[in-house]
């Protein structure tokens, strides 16, 4: 019997901080990332792929601002921009993964599902924006844009500059989760919960409406993995393993940690918000609610024995 794995790609797997964001760049990155899925397919996994959209949705916002200033085009709210990013990133991933499969004589249908995710409009996250989106700026650039657009910026914990931050409410219910599970278990590769999903809430009974926010894709992916009873949850990032005292002389990489240890490290402040902290929180959520393992690792180490950091129940 095939296992079901949920693989969460970061937005930077498709658009890196040192790139302009051309479609050619993103297609090549998607192709390279997709090649790393082969080892899981060969290990008898059915797959659901999720992805971030931080760089892309930030660029969409900038294009909206420019279009409004130059041509008086109406600016789209953040939930619509997330939907935009789900569509075009899903298209790129579908196409490049298809290219990888055909190059390796494999045949699977690949299906992108535009995914809404229910949130609470009274979530305290709306009063404390922490989710970084868009490109990195210098302090002077960030101050100028903040003044012009009333945006909020925060310093990157890894020293790469300043990024816009927005509200990131906790995901509650994944839309179309039954269909996602059924399609994946039938052998299709499903791309879902792009960018953490399109945030929506019930403005009144039986009436959904979008809300201005970006849901953390790792937390949404974790919730999806639990709700479809996945066998394993993979969180992909740009470092090979989770580290304590990251980027200091006392840095220590972790091979295997329990949920209890992970919670203690979180409380001790080892993991930055907007960076590793939500990945650890997502892994804890999956392991506690499923009893199965989560793995945080670099894209190139996906499926490699002893690759990455394994989070376990005990």
The answer to whether 242 and 254 have CB atoms below 8 angstroms apart is yes
Q: Where are the beta strands (DSSP E) in the chain?
A: 3-9, 45-51, 110-112, 116-118, 131-137, 152-155, 162-166, 173-174, 189-191, 198-204, 207-210, 232-237, 243-244, 252-253, 256-258, 294-298, 309-312
Residue 137 and residue 151 in contact, taking contact as beta carbons nearer than 8 Å: no
State the fold for domain 1-128+167-230: Carbamate kinase (3.40.1160)
* Pairing mode, strands 3-9 and 45-51: parallel
Catalytic positions: 11-12, 131, 217, 279
Q: pLDDT by residue for the chain (314 residues), tens digit each?
A: 899 999 999 876 788 878 888 999 999 999 999 999 999 999 999 999 999 998 888 889 889 989 998 999 998 999 999 999 999 999 999 999 999 999 999 999 999 999 999 999 999 999 999 888 878 899 999 999 899 888 899 999 888 899 989 999 999 999 999 999 999 999 999 999 999 999 999 999 999 999 999 999 999 999 999 999 999 999 999 889 999 999 899 999 999 999 999 999 999 999 987 689 999 999 999 999 999 999 999 988 998 888 899 999 99
- Hey, what are 306's tokens? 């002893």
- Where in the chain are the domains? 1-128+167-230, 131-166, 237-314
Tokens for 195? 């960018």
> Residue 58 has what pLDDT?
84
Write the CB contacts of 223 (distance below 8 Å, at least 6 apart in sequence).
Answer: 171, 172, 174, 285
Q: Which residues have a Cβ under 8 Å from the Cβ of 102 and sit 6 or more positions away?
A: none
Which is nearest to 192 in space by CA: 216, 175, 170, 169?
A: 175
- Owner of token pair 């290219």: 99
pLDDT of 305 = 83
Residue-level pLDDT at 274? 67
Taking the whole predicted model, whether its pTM rises above 0.85 is answered as yes
Q: How many CA atoms lie within 13 A of 272 on its CB side?
A: 14
Closest to 21 measured CA to CA, from 85, 87, 98, 99: 85
Helix (H, G, I), strand (E, B) or coil at 36: coil
Report residue 48 as tokens.
């659901």
């Amino acid at each position: 019997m095939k296992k079901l794995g949920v693989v969460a790609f970061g937005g930077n797997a498709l658009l890196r901080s040192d790139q302009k964001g051309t479609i050619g760049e993103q297609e090549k990155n998607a192709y390279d990332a997709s090649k790393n899925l082969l080892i899981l397919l060969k290990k008898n996994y059915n797959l659901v792929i999720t992805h971030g959209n931080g760089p892309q949705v930030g660029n969409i916002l900038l294009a909206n601002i420019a279009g409004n200033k130059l041509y008086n085009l109406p600016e789209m709210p953040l939930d619509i921009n997330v939907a935009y990013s789900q569509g075009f990133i899903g298209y790129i991933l579908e196409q490049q993964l298809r290219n990888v499969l055909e190059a390796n004589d494999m045949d699977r249908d690949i299906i992108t599902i535009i995914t809404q995710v229910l949130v609470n409009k009274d979530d305290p996250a709306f009063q404390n924006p922490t989710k970084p989106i868009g490109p990195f700026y210098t302090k002077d650039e960030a101050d100028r844009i903040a003044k012009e657009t009333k945006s909020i910026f925060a310093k990157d914990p890894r020293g790469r500059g300043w990024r816009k931050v927005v509200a990131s409410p906790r995901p509650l219910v994944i839309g179309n989760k039954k269909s996602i599970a059924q399609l994946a278990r039938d052998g299709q590769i499903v791309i879902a919960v792009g960018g953490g999903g399109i945030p929506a809430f019930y403005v009144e009974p039986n009436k959904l409406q979008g809300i201005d926010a970006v849901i953390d894709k790792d937390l949404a992916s974790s919730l999806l993995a639990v709700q479809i009873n996945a066998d394993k949850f993979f969180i992909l990032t740009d470092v090979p393993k989770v580290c304590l005292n990251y980027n200091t002389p006392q840095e220590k990489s972790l091979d295997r940690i329990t949920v209890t240890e992970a919670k203690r490290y979180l409380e001790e402040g080892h993991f930055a918000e907007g960076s590793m902290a939500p990945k650890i929180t997502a892994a804890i959520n999956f392991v506690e609610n499923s009893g199965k393992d989560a793995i945080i690792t670099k894209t190139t180490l996906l499926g490699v024995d002893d690759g990455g950091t394994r989070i376990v129940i005990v």
